[in-house]
Amino acid sequence: MSVLDSIIEGVREDLARRRKPLSQIHEQMSQSPSALDAYGALLGEQMKVIAEVKRSSPSKGELSTIADPAALAEQYQVAGASVISVLTEERRFKGSLADLAAVRARVTIPVLRKDFMIDEYQFFEARAYGADLVLLIVAALSKSQLRDFYDVATELGMASLIEVHTADELERALEISPKIVGVNSRNLKTLEVSQEAFADLIPRIPPSIVRVAESGIASRADVEFAQSAGANAILVGEALVTSGDTKLAMRKLLGQG
């Protein structure tokens, strides 16, 4: 079993435990504010940052306790982030839907629910807890699931970040005419990182699509490498949560001192 398979198995078990009747989720959705425009937030000439609230990871273990995710998200917004990513996977990343709700209530920029979306229920759940953007990992989904889940997210008013790691996955992603595609330099099946994925795949993504570089970005040189490949945005978690100074870390990544 690959790392990705193991994570998904846990996600299914946790989802079965917390699943509520759809009527309850629809009621919660009706009380949530309308989704913000995540796609629009990532447009522009300047490099955009999706800053991540991330306590732990399968590859590095515990990164930060993050007692107050909403306060951290607010710091990210003040430091110049365009979107906040909130891990909601419980076992490997120590996240929660409570984190998502807390962050949504505190910031005024779009929020990404970062999780392994494998069931339609999770999309209603994401909107109920205030997500404006969801992650669709091509490696974790069948061709029909990718299309169906993209359509469900769109119908609910949310944008989708379509994540790929290989040329084959990118080809599948482009078939659904996405607005945002992320290239993950980390192979989710082995957890190995190679930024050559940026150089190989980002130039293949049409310029009309927002191109996001994900994983392994820890320095200004990493950002410049991703940008030279054509990235419009970067998704950064570890480098920010372990920095000790969020604003300074963001400025360094963006070459602002």
Buried b (16+ CB within 10 A) or exposed e, 150-178: bebbeebebbbbbbbbbeebbebbbebeb
Secondary structure letter of residue 203 according to DSSP: G
According to DSSP, residue 91 is labeled: T
Residues 6+ apart with CB under 8 A from 130: 32, 33, 100, 101, 103, 104, 105, 111
The angle, 0 to 180 degrees and rounded to 10, between the axes of the packed helices 220-229 and 246-253 is 40
Nearest to 241 by CA among 76, 7, 41: 76
Of 28, 135, 156, 38, nearest in space to 88 by CA: 135
DSSP string, 130-186: T-SEEEEEGGGS-HHHHHHHHHHHHHTT-EEEEEE-SHHHHHHHHTT--SEEEEESB
Residue 166: phi, psi to the nearest 5? -130, 165
Angle, nearest 10°, between helix axes 143-155 and 167-174? Answer: 50
Catalytic residues: 52, 54, 114, 163, 184, 214-215
Give bridge partners of residue 234 from the DSSP assignment. 49, 213
